[in-house]
Amino acid sequence: MKYQSLALAATTFLTCASAFPRMDAEQLKAYNEASKRSAEPAACPYAKREAEAAADPSCPFAKIANKFKRSTFNAEQQHIRTDGEYAFVPPNFQSGDQRGPCPGLNALANHGYLPHSGVADMQTIIKATNEVYGMSLDLGGFLAVYGTVFDGNPLSTSPGYSIGGPSKDSQNILNGVGLLGTPSGLSGSHNKYESDVSPTRADLYLTGNNFHNVKDRFVDYYYALKENTPAPEQYTALAPFHAQRYEESLMSNPYFFYSPFAGILVSPAGYSFPPRMMANHSEEYPEGYLSRETFSTFFGVDTHESQNPQDFEVKQGWERIPDNWYKRPINDEFSIPDFLLDVLQHAEYDPRLLSFGGNTNGVNTFAGLDIGDLTGGVLNFANLLDPNNLLCVALQIAEAAAPDVLGSLYTDVKKAMTPLTDKVTQLLAGKGCPQLQKINSELFEKYPGYTESYGSYAGFSEIGTDPVDGVLEGVTGVLGGLIPTGQKV
């Protein structure tokens, strides 16, 4: 469990790796230049970006903006069906359907693009995220491999995972030789995949539930969405809201832990993916526009056609694709480099978003981890704003941490890790990353959010009377999330 955070962080980066070659040398150079100059307020500053960056060819965000400006709308190609076999059917939790922390995957299961049970094999997940949302195969492929290795069963003849908690269906689809116990699913993957600082889901240790949509948090997100604005600019404008969420975790959660993978790379997806992959596309907005109504539908919130939050009704697990919804242009899929630039863009607004570590002794006691110390000096990048450095660090740390995370889950850890190892190798090929063999994992011991395990993932009963006590009921809640098994990981 202790290493899960690192492993998750690495996995996210891996997702980026396969698409990474699409970031050409010129773009990378421009980004590096801008990163170096970012210490100077006037260089390529966040505040100026919306108005002026597009005019500055040395600013990488201008390239992204220009790319979107070139988007063309094709209704026939981009329309996503929500009728017939793809009509919305809400989950039946009584019969064991699983829904979890990811609204994107929950909606796919509610519309039959994924099995309604919420347990799916890797290929089905990669295909569905690509065809419905325009998520590139490299990004979808990495996320699916990571989820399968850490939350599902890579040894199965049909490797995959549950998008919620453990499921009886996991025993069928995920049944493979060498797996000890039941796969956790995404809901049970705290610090591996699921992280603190989510936009609408609460920090696990604060509420005992990391997969429900919390209405107050949803309302904050709703109002943070800039209206009548193209989706790329909507993403830029979400940075203060993102920073505010980070601040809330820091100041309210004594167990706040921001891991190299789940924290730095997965958590930002919750801010990037809605404008990038839930926005509706039209002739007026060929680059997409995420209206508050579309956003509400995708997050399972019935606004009752009101703009007053008092009227909003959150239906847990009822995430839905709106009717008359058009995805990204076919030739403009959302890839690993696109996502990396999104991560870096918000981190430029608030650099704490790139600092992994956590609270050490109560709230607001954050201590960052030095990459050099953690990796015995093998990786020592001062500037994580360089996407190449970020990729090397996250992927390699995740891979190095994986054996510790997986050691108690599989009889043959090396075999279970093979899909991850292969994917990391593929993504880092030609990147010139120094070769990391192991990490000084004892450095994580000072973080309660790392050492304390949770629910079925050990340590729960050891927590005793501290603030985490009492969360068990929440965890076994409506969505069939974590089920304590007493198994120590």
Q: How many helices (H) and strands (E) does the chain have?
A: 21, 7
Would you count residue 406 as binding ligand HEM (CB under 6 A)? no
User: Residue 485 in contact with residue 182, Cβ under 8 Å?
Assistant: yes
337-376 residues near ligand HEM, rule: CB under 6 A: none
154 contributes a contact to ligand HEM by CB under 6 A: no
Task: Decide whether 53 or 149 has the Cβ nearer to ligand HEM.
Answer: 149
Q: Does 103 bind ligand HEM (CB under 6 A)?
A: yes
- Residue from 136, 156, 198, 476 touching ligand HEM (CB under 6 A): that is 198
Pick 31 or 193: Cβ nearer ligand HEM: 193
**Choices 142-150, 177-185, 224-232, 406-414; region in contact with ligand HEM by CB under 6 A:** 142-150
**One of 6, 38, 97, 104 touching ligand HEM (CB under 6 A):** 104
- By beta-carbon distance, which residue lies closest to ligand HEM? 104
Please, which residue, 218 or 444, has the CB nearer to ligand HEM?
218
Residues contacting 77, CB < 8 A, separation 6+: 329, 330
For residue 205, which of 454, 459, 483 has the smallest C-alpha distance? 454
Which residues lie closer than 8 Å to 254 by C-beta, 6 or more apart? 205, 359, 362, 363, 448, 449, 467
Between 170 and 195, whose beta carbon lies closer to ligand HEM? 195
Contact with ligand HEM (CB under 6 A): which of 105, 206, 433, 475?
Answer: 105
Rounded Cα–Cα distance for residues 35 and 38 (Å): 5
Binding range to ligand HEM, per CB under 6 A, among 24-32, 111-119, 189-197, 451-459 = 189-197
SS3 assignment, position 138: helix
User: Burial of 24 by CB count in 10 Å (0-12 exposed, 13-18 middle, 19+ buried)?
Assistant: exposed
Number of chain residues interacting with ligand HEM (CB under 6 A): 29
User: Quick one: 231 or 416, whose CB is closer to ligand HEM?
Assistant: 231
Considering beta carbons, is residue 182 or 200 the nearer one to ligand HEM?
200
326 DSSP assignment = B
Report 23-62 residues binding ligand HEM (CB under 6 A). Answer: none
DSSP string, 79-116: B---SGGG------GGGT----S-HHHHHHHHTTSS-T
Q: Are 298 and 88 in contact (CB under 8 A)?
A: no
Q: Which is nearer to ligand HEM, 278 or 398 (CB)?
A: 278
Which residue is listed with tokens 């990038």?
276
3-state SS record for 261-295? CHHHHHCCHHHHHHHHHHCECCCCCCCCECCHHHH
Among 138, 169, 194, 386, binds ligand HEM (CB under 6 A): 194
Looking at the Cβ atoms of 38 and 253, the one nearer to ligand HEM is: 253
199 touches ligand HEM (CB under 6 A): yes
**Measured distance CA(104)–CA(135) in Å, rounded:** 11
Within 73-102, which residues bind ligand HEM (CB under 6 A)? 101-102
Helix-, strand-, coil-residue percentages of the chain, each rounded to 5: 50, 5, 45
CB atoms within 10 A of CB 252: 14
* 4 near ligand HEM, rule: CB under 6 A: no
Contact 370, 380 (CB under 8 A): no
Residues 6+ apart with CB under 8 A from 105: 114, 118, 125, 129, 163, 186
**Residue closer to ligand HEM (CB basis): 125 or 206:** 125
Choosing from 129, 136, 209, 456, the residue that interacts with ligand HEM (CB under 6 A) is 129
Shortest distance, CB of residue 385 to ligand HEM, whole angstroms?
Answer: 22
Q: Does 188 bind ligand HEM (CB under 6 A)?
A: no
Nearer to ligand HEM, 31 or 325 (CB): 325
Between 107 and 463, name the residue whose CB sits nearer to ligand HEM: 107
Query: Which of 60/260 has CB closer to ligand HEM?
Result: 260
Give yes or no for residue 186 binding ligand HEM (CB under 6 A): yes
Residue 137 or 378 with smaller CB distance to ligand HEM? 137
**Which of 61, 113, 193, 454 is in the footprint of ligand HEM by CB under 6 A?**
193
Distance CA 438, CA 426 (A): 19
Q: Hey, what are 339's tokens? A: 């996502």
Which of 261, 375, 276, 200 has its CA nearest to residue 7? Answer: 261
Q: Of the ranges 42-50, 191-199, 341-349, 380-388, which one interacts with ligand HEM (CB under 6 A)?
A: 191-199
Tell me how far apart the alpha carbons of residues 257 and 253 are, in angstroms, rounded to a whole number: 9
Instruction: Determine the 3-state secondary structure of 190 from DSSP.
Output: strand
**Which of 49, 201, 212, 328 touches ligand HEM by CB under 6 A?**
201
- For residue 389, the minimal CB distance to ligand HEM (Å) is 23
Min dist CB 79 to ligand HEM, Å, is 16
Residue 217, SS3 per DSSP? helix
135 binds ligand HEM (CB under 6 A): yes
Judge whether 282 and 24 are in contact, CB under 8 Å.
no
Binding residues for ligand HEM restricted to 257-286, rule: CB under 6 A: 266-267, 269-270, 273-274, 277-278
Q: Which residues of the shown chain bind ligand HEM in the complex (CB under 6 A)?
A: 101-105, 125, 129, 133, 135, 140, 143-144, 147, 186, 193-195, 198-201, 266-267, 269-270, 273-274, 277-278
